[in-house]
Amino acid sequence: MTNSSQPKLYTRTTKWYNLAYLAYIALTSSTLVITTVLGTYEDSNVSGVGVVRSGAMAVVGIAAIVGISLDKAWARWAAIATYGCFIFVLIEGLVASLLANSALTMLLGSSTLIALRGLRIVMLILALVGVGLLMRKRSTDPT
């Protein structure tokens, strides 16, 4: 419980934006880990590194959610670490789609591939907004 005489570390906007986006990251990462462990992705090429990375993102993301909810200072760095890993995954996927061979383009269609690239760029921008909100200093002026 936070002492009411202490100033809050996070603004209301920062807190709720990051809680929502970190919940999204933790949910998608844990979904990948669970479906891989259950064998849903048997025939695809999901790497062990990707599963471990997603598991770490889920665990650290949940820790950041708890820390931000409790207004802890360490949660900022856990959230930034989660965002950093997520941004890396987004850029990795964007580069992979740009270097995609013609078989993938034929399978998905060029318009679908363009839409997926656009979605990755939007998610990248939203993640960068979350990092920016966390890095902004809270003013000490109560007015």
Q: Give the per-residue pLDDT at 137.
A: 74
**Tokens read off for 58:** 């889920």
Sign of CA pseudo-dihedral 122, 125, 131, 134: negative
What confidence tier does 10 reach under pLDDT thresholds 50, 70, 90?
confident
Residue 17 in tokens? 């934006």
pLDDT per residue as tens digits for the range 70-102? 999 999 999 999 999 999 999 998 888 778 666
Instruction: Answer yes or no: are the C-beta atoms of 27 and 86 closer than 8 Å.
Output: no
Q: What are phi and psi of 72, to 5 degrees?
A: -100, 145
- Is the pLDDT reported for residue 62 higher than 60? yes
